[in-house]
Structure 1
Amino acid sequence: MHPEILDQEGYTSASVDEAPVRELFPGVRLRPLWRGASGAHANVLEMDAGASWPRRDVHEPGPEEVYVLAGTFNDGARDYPAGTFLHAPAGSWHVPATATGCTLFLFYPEG
């Protein structure tokens, strides 16, 4: 073990189980994990079976990166099973939904 790793400025960790939960829409919950000084941030999004976004999810001002941790995610056009990575460039949009329920890791590299 290298305790000096933990002394590096900015080196942080977060537990999904301990992250605060915010319900965005019925059956859709966000758990913020990290926010950087430049505005970049990471979250876990949990969607219950049958849940969907009520409108387009537009990626502004920057891109969104998604990794499907569990279940099957649908972007309004196709299904993506666990293990799938998606990159949505700034200005793009989708309508998130899931028939089975899913858990996503979301990363926003720009603020």
Structure 2
Amino acid sequence: MVTPEMFERAHIDDIAEVEAAPGIFIKMLHHTDEGVMVRLIRFAPGAVLPMEDTHDLGLEIVHVLDGTLTDNAGSYPAGSILYGKKGSSHIPASVEGCTIFSINFVD
């Protein structure tokens, strides 16, 4: 049986936003000591991650919520879902700005 005590709750407006790189803002929705992360990431117009984003620990799933995310492999408009396999890497950016929902897994 599921009970209310089994769930943690928060409102997105109550979660602190941290500027991880110039123009890239992250709200950490959930994380574990093992490295699993669930994040809401906002790219301001023209923002580029200043380093390669590597997926060393496992799969990354990204859902583009608004705007267009770009990387060295292409452009991904709102509604796109990306699967970054373990060992893959890219340099995410956004010309117009975008918001993505990202889950990083650990194998």
TM-score by length of 1: 0.85
Q: Percent identity?
A: 33
Structure 1 Cα separation of the partners of residues 10 and 105 of structure 2:
18
Q: Report if the CA contact (8 A) 2:35-2:106 is conserved.
A: yes
Are 1:14 and 1:34, in contact at CA under 8 Å, matched by a contact in 2?
no
Aligned length: 106
Please report the RMSD computed on the Cα atoms of aligned residues, expressed in angstroms.
Answer: 1.7
Offset from partner CA, 1:29-88 (integer Å, 9 cap, x none): 110011246542211000000000112111121121100011000022211011111110
CA deviation after TM superposition for structure 1 residue 110, in Å: 1.8
> Which residues of structure 1 form unaligned runs of 5+?
none
2:83 corresponds to: 87
Match of residue 64 from structure 2: 68
Query: Gapped runs of 5+ residues in structure 2?
Result: none
TM-score scaled by length of structure 2: 0.88
Q: Check the 8 A contact 1:73/1:79 in 2, yes or no.
A: yes
d(CA) in 2 for partners of 1:87, 1:102:
17
Report the equivalent of 1:50.
Answer: 46
Deviates more, 1:14-23 or 1:75-84: 14-23
